Amino acid sequence: MIRSTSGTDRYAASRGQHERAARSLAGGVATAFRAPQLPVPITMAGGSGSHLRDIDGNEYIDYGLAFGPMLLGHSPASVIEAVQRQVATGIGYGASHRAEADLAEAICRTVPCAERCIISNSGSEAVHIALRIARAATGRRRVIKFQGHFHGWLDPLSVGNPGSPDAGPATAGQDPGASESVTVCPWNDLDALAAALDDVDVAAVIMEPLAVNGGCLVAGPGYLEGVRRLTSNAGTLLIFDEVITGFRLALGGAQERFGVIPDLAVLGKALGGGLPISAVAGRADVLEEVATWRVRHAGTFNANPISAAAAVAVIGQLEREAATIYPRLESLGDQLAAILREETANAGVPLVVNQVGAMGYAFVSNVPVTDHDALLRADADAFRRFAAALLDEGVHVISRGLLYVSAAHTDADLEHTRAAVARVAQAMSATSQVNA
Ligand SMILES: Cc1ncc(COP(=O)(O)O)c(C=O)c1O
């Protein structure tokens, strides 16, 4: 293990806080995805721009970005101002307010498939209602998802998740009956999808159009177009889960970038600039199911004014600055991937980096990771140790390998990151901590 650079325990306060939290908060963290962080789940004290600060006073260049939402960086002025304005006005009405229509218009302006939308609180919820809408609109029951794609924590689609060797459930306590109508298919395989679509009862095919959670895997040439054609021919709705890619891969998300337009898209994460909000956007005739109340879309907090105001501010800034923000994100993503590849190669550490624009995924692996099977063979423990060593160097990455850059990252951040990665890679190589 690489030692703390200071020689003392630079995470003492985080350790204490974690122990304290675990006495009342089951597991000591509020979401399972934070639990695996080494040496201990870090307790943050604040964030600004591309940096986070923990309660021990350590500062980090942050490539985790709250698991994706902070596309504009931490505490972006536009979002803070919008939230403050809204807080001063009212924080919840249980009634209509202007920001929800502002937001719906902004989504319909920017997301190619969006003729109408609905607004919800989290990605998981939005996926759930998207499936309900698809079933109502088609009068069919089954749903096809893909091995290694992630669509949130709710039971029906928590099968064949990233890192799972089979189509089994993701967690104890899951109702196996909830997934009875879900077929898990291999991704990037049009023949397999065509065969699955022989079943005439398929309401929807849902996918991450860039398989970010399964390793930032890119669809093969013609695959997305092929899926579009097959689903249209089958009368099945195509749902893109753009919870990660929405607003991040382009203003109009993966559908804009790849030029394939789904019937419905699920949005979340970056949409709220850090506040909880999500949406389902798509064809007006499909969302008519909600407009006519045939499909009930309920939720006490749906489009709460603070989250809605934040999201309006996020989309507004992205629209105004699209010509500079997206090329910058692209360049930052490319540079971060190059730094990781070059400095680990120099040290003989077998790091593979898949990256598209402002997102990526890194693995300790001796072979390229181009499909879910290769992800399963990568050395996840070695990557967690790599992430822990980077933390000691003031660089925060998600311990399973996901990488995000924001519009707030700077050239100085990249320079610091290069030096940090070089030191960590040399130390790992010297102590033979990698054996992928
Ligand atoms: C592609 C994708 N869909 C859905 C979700 C679920 O979103 P949430 O965590 O907001 O429920 C996630 C979360 O990471 C995701 O990455």
pLDDT tens for 67-80 read 999 999 999 999 99
For residue 145, the one-letter residue type is: K
Q: How far is ligand 1, taken at its centre, from the CA of residue 423, in Å?
A: 33
Structure tokens at 226: 């092929």
Report pLDDT for 179: 96
How high is the pLDDT of residue 279? 98
Identify which of 354, 356, 347 has the alpha carbon closest to the alpha carbon of residue 375. Answer: 354
**Predicted pLDDT of residue 205:** 98
Q: Is 231 in the pocket of ligand 1 (CB under 6 A)?
A: no
Minimum mean pLDDT among 37-41, 100-104, 213-217: which range?
Answer: 37-41
pLDDT value for 31: 87
Closest ligand 1 atom to residue 123 Cα is 7
Nearest CA to ligand 1 atom 13: 152
Contact predicate 168/159, CB 8 Å: yes
Instruction: Give 419 Cα–ligand 1 centroid separation in angstroms.
Output: 32
pLDDT of residue 81: 98
287 lines ligand 1 (CB under 6 A): no
148 lines ligand 1 (CB under 6 A): no
- pLDDT at residue 1, as a whole number: 30
Q: Which residue has the tokens 């949409």?
A: 271
CA 149 to ligand 1: nearest atom: 1
Q: Which residue has a Cα nearest atom 5 of ligand 1?
A: 152
Instruction: Give the Å distance between the CA of 243 and the centre of ligand 1.
Output: 6
Q: How far is the centre of ligand 1, averaged over its atoms, from the C-alpha of 15 (Å)? A: 28
- pLDDT for the residue 79: 98
pLDDT digits (tens, 9 = 90+) for 225-240: 999 999 999 999 999 9
Cα–ligand 1 centroid distance for 305 (angstroms): 22
- Write down the pLDDT at residue 155: 96
**7 pLDDT exceeds 90?**
no
| Token pair 């218009």 in the structure block, residue | 105
Mean pLDDT for 87-98 is 95
Q: Which of 32-46, 52-66, 244-258 has the lowest mean pLDDT?
A: 32-46
Kindly state if the Cβ of 234 falls inside 6 Å of ligand 1.
no
- Residue 2: pLDDT band (50, 70, 90) is very low
CB distance 242 to ligand 1 below 6 Å: no
Rounded to 10 deg, the angle between the 305-347 and 77-89 helix axes is 160
Question: Does the pLDDT value for residue 99 go beyond 70?
Answer: yes
Mutation choice for ligand 1 from 67, 71, 244, CB with most ligand atoms inside 8 A: 244
Q: Are 341 and 365 within 8 A, CB to CB?
A: no
Mean pLDDT of 106-128: 98
Strand, coil or helix: 110 = helix
Q: Is 363 in the pocket of ligand 1 (CB under 6 A)?
A: no
Contacts of 275 (CB under 8 A, 6+ apart): 79, 83, 306, 307, 310, 311
| Closest atom, ligand 1, to C-alpha of 268 | 10
Nearest protein CA to atom 6 of ligand 1, as residue: 152
Q: Stretch 272-282: mean pLDDT, rounded?
A: 98
Residue 199 burial (10 A CB sphere; 0-12, 13-18, 19+): middle
Q: What is the pLDDT of residue 8?
A: 82
Task: Quote the percentage of the chain above a pLDDT of 90.
Answer: 93
**CA of residue 371 to ligand 1 center, whole Å:** 20
Mean pLDDT, rounded, for 166-194: 95
Cα–Cα distance measured from residue 285 to residue 293, given in angstroms and rounded to the nearest whole number: 13
Asked if residue 152 has pLDDT above 70, the reply is yes
Average pLDDT of the segment spanning 410-422: 98
Per-residue pLDDT band at 433 (split at 50, 70, 90): low
**Is the minimum distance from the CB of 244 to ligand 1 under 6 angstroms?**
yes
Q: Does residue 394 have a pLDDT over 70?
A: yes
What count of other Cβ atoms lies within 10 Å of the Cβ of residue 225?
A: 14
* pLDDT confidence bin for 4, thresholds 50/70/90: very low
Ligand 1 atom showing the smallest separation from residue 122 Cα: 10
Do residues 339 and 387 lie in contact, with contact meaning Cβ atoms separated by under 8 Å?
no
Q: Kindly calculate the radius of gyration of the chain based on its CA atoms and give it in whole angstroms.
A: 21
Residue 34: per-residue pLDDT: 84
Average pLDDT, the chain: 95
H helices of 348-395, in order, are: 372-377, 380-392
Domains belonging to the chain, first-starting first, are 12-74+322-430 (3.90.1150.10), 93-303 (3.40.640.10)
Q: What is the pLDDT of residue 284?
A: 98
Pocket test for ligand 1, best of 70, 71, 124, 361 (most atoms within 8 A of CB): 124
Beta-strand pair 202-207/237-242: parallel
pLDDT number for residue 37 = 86
CA-angle at 124, arms to 119 and 129, nearest 5°: 55
- Ligand 1 centroid–CA 276 distance in Å is 11
Given a cut of 70, is residue 47 above it in pLDDT?
Answer: yes
Span from the CA of 266 to the centroid of ligand 1 (angstroms):
9
Whether the Cβ atoms of residue 123 and residue 272 lie closer than 8 Å to each other? no
- pLDDT (tens digit, 9 = 90+) per residue, 244-253? 999 999 999 9
Please work out whether the CB of residue 241 comes within 6 Å of at least one atom of ligand 1.
yes
The protein residue with its alpha carbon nearest to ligand 1, atom 8, reads 123
123 C-beta closer than 6 A to ligand 1: yes
Is the Cβ atom of 127 under 6 angstroms away from ligand 1?
yes
Mean pLDDT over 150-158 rounds to 97
- Tell me, using a 6 A CB cutoff, whether residue 248 lines ligand 1: no
